[in-house]
Structure 1
């Protein structure tokens, strides 16, 4: 650019001056390069303007003198702006590194294989630059099998992340210590409710009632095909079995965590049979509430039934791409998916009656 403008300016008629266009060179450089490169390009542009002045008239010519001074001042200014932009970029990189580290601490990646299970997970944040939000999932090994948690904290932002971290910490601390699933859910309820106002403080408003977390916990034994589920206001898991899909709908679901103080009965479990080769799909409402341009919700069960691949990784790749295509790559809420496939042998037993 500098070379072309310089040659054109030298060959132009006396009344034509294209030298002012030289300012574009350092200005454009400042948009993508660092301050050193910007300063170098600015210096070359000034030198080119001096060459034009000497060739066409002289350095003492008022017109060329003013052009040189203006070009030098603008080069200094854009060099400073390049320095500011580079500093902000370094800060942004640091913030992204912190966000990624926080995500790995709060929402740890699920193991690809745990006991007789293969797992895969996908987290899609609604915010463009976000790494984590209010959706959560976790696994824990027990003496007899694996427990899996999926949940969705009401709200967004830092407050939702804090509530998610509190629930995940409570699950990781107690999942392998509480032998009974209802006792584990009671522990999680205490952890969620410990940060809420007491019921007596809710008389002035409904804020306390709005702080809750939907959650579902699955207890998957290693030696049997019976899976126990407690659902606290969360969308029911889906079971894919040889191309057929059905909901693992709990007959008596509990309210979301944070609201179970209003329950008149204890937590209850329900058991389902998950045979070898079956896949259980856990998800948050950000998946089924994603809308396309016509306002239609994402038909998760229908799309799951149409899948004909193999393994949880392939399933989530298929659902992730299909979901983003449906929503135009613009989700209205955070979305999480967890796929669990039983690949080890399990001795199937009839579903037990509802346990209270």
Structure 2
């Protein structure tokens, strides 16, 4: 059973009837029609009363021209147009009823109409820009999901359950990667996190994934797989430097599964896995951690592999820092180890459900990084348990 669910951000708007095209998908805040009408009426009454009190010495009705400009920031084009028409009617009615000079009235009405029209144009431009940004953001997330393999993945040695939640804000789009490959040398797994954010981070992640998929099948040694990915990241950085992009590195953990009760691991500056076994959860101590991929030239030591225990009924949980660096409202980091101790006796799919729900509750639905989690266990007879299609919470990631 696997989940690759996206939790909608609490800050995003729900679809509203009559919304302007693209407004909802762009997450633009909107004031309800009745609320807008009430505030507009109250402000109009207040301005008219004050204007009547101040008389001709200090006319306040012309100040209503600022209302369309304010509406253009928060409202739809339709609402802003309604505000603009209302302001023009109020100003026209008040000036026509006054005893002012004819050309003064004409000038005021012309200025009010122009200012109101500019407010409507500004609103349309804002929504158009927000829609374009939303489309680009959606394209970036779709690209991430197409690069990554859909979960679950079942091989002869491993059943990989997973949780993948890409963040959907353009400036925060990250480069979390994972892959599970069946090879002649056993099952090879990688999970990694590209340094930095944005589309360039996705490009670096794609370069690392492509190299891993090829080398995992070709290379008999796991360290040689890591070296191949290293070379790919270096080549990508060289190309990025030529095009003016920043160079990036990738923290990664590579695992090699065979038929025994041990797993080969090459840690390239990544977070250590957690072992879930016999109802307990513990961090796996890795003693041969090397520099992240793309930074081998800064270290004089070759990458080294080490063995870690993997009993038949155990599971390894590997993850990116979107989990451990999630924060609550007070700025405290997510206590992953503390939570895992409560869930260690559960099945992998249940651990993922609990982790996903608890992360969302802990952070209040506000995230600043992608979340990628894999739980790796020995496949039982018949492979991984299937997810019930009637359960909406069991939708597999398309990434």
Task: Tell me the equivalent position of 2:88.
Answer: 46
Which one of the candidate residues 159, 165, 173 is aligned to 1:117? Answer: 159
Which one of the candidate residues 338, 347, 351 is aligned to 2:374? Answer: 338
In structure 2, do the counterparts of structure 1 residues 18 and 212 end up closer, same or farther at CA, with 3 Å as the change threshold? closer
Task: Tell me the equivalent position of 1:206.
Answer: none
Task: Tell me the equivalent position of 2:342.
Answer: 306
Higher deviation after alignment, 92-101 or 127-136: 127-136
In structure 2, do the counterparts of structure 1 residues 81 and 224 end up closer, same or farther at CA, with 3 Å as the change threshold? same
Which one of the candidate residues 290, 297, 312 is aligned to 1:275? Answer: 312
- Asked whether the equivalents of residues 71 and 80 of structure 2 are also in contact (C-alpha less than 8 Å), the reply is yes
Higher deviation after alignment, 233-242 or 136-145: 136-145
- Distance apart, 1:124 and its partner CA: 6.2
- Aligned length in residues: 329
Per chain length, whose mean CA-contact separation is higher, i.e. which structure has more relative contact order (CA < 8 Å, sep 6+)? 2
- Asked whether the equivalents of residues 117 and 341 of structure 1 are also in contact (C-alpha less than 8 Å), the reply is yes
- Residue 249, structure 1, aligned to residue 290, structure 2: no
Higher deviation after alignment, 131-140 or 188-197: 188-197
Tell me how far apart the structure 2 counterparts of residues 309 and 66 of structure 1 sit (CA, whole Å). 78
Identify unmatched segments of 5+ residues in structure 2. Answer: 1-36, 239-246, 383-399
TM alignment of 1:168-179, pairs within 5 A: 168-179=209-220
- Distance apart, 1:275 and its partner CA: 2.4
Which one of the candidate residues 26, 36, 45 is aligned to 2:68? Answer: 26
- Distance apart, 1:344 and its partner CA: 1.2
Task: Tell me the equivalent position of 2:138.
Answer: 97
- Distance apart, 1:281 and its partner CA: 1.0
In structure 2, do the counterparts of structure 1 residues 176 and 53 end up closer, same or farther at CA, with 3 Å as the change threshold? same
Residue deviations 1:198-243, cap 9 Å, x none? xxxxxxxxxxxx964332212335x665433232332221111232
Higher deviation after alignment, 239-248 or 299-308: 299-308
Task: Tell me the equivalent position of 1:132.
Answer: 173
- Larger-Rg structure: 1
- Distance apart, 1:89 and its partner CA: 1.7
Query: RMSD of the TM alignment (CA)?
Result: 4.3
Tell me how far apart the structure 2 counterparts of residues 22 and 195 of structure 1 sit (CA, whole Å). 56
Helix, strand or coil at the partner of 2:134: helix
TM alignment of 1:80-229, pairs within 5 A: 80-106=121-147, 108=148, 110-115=150-155, 117-123=159-165, 129-130=170-171, 132-142=173-183, 146-156=187-197, 160-194=201-235, 212-221=249-258, 225-229=261-265
- Asked whether the equivalents of residues 255 and 263 of structure 1 are also in contact (C-alpha less than 8 Å), the reply is no
Residue deviations 1:274-295, cap 9 Å, x none? 424x331112355446677888
Identify unmatched segments of 5+ residues in structure 1. Answer: 198-209, 347-356
- Asked whether the equivalents of residues 261 and 310 of structure 2 are also in contact (C-alpha less than 8 Å), the reply is yes
Higher deviation after alignment, 257-266 or 22-31: 257-266
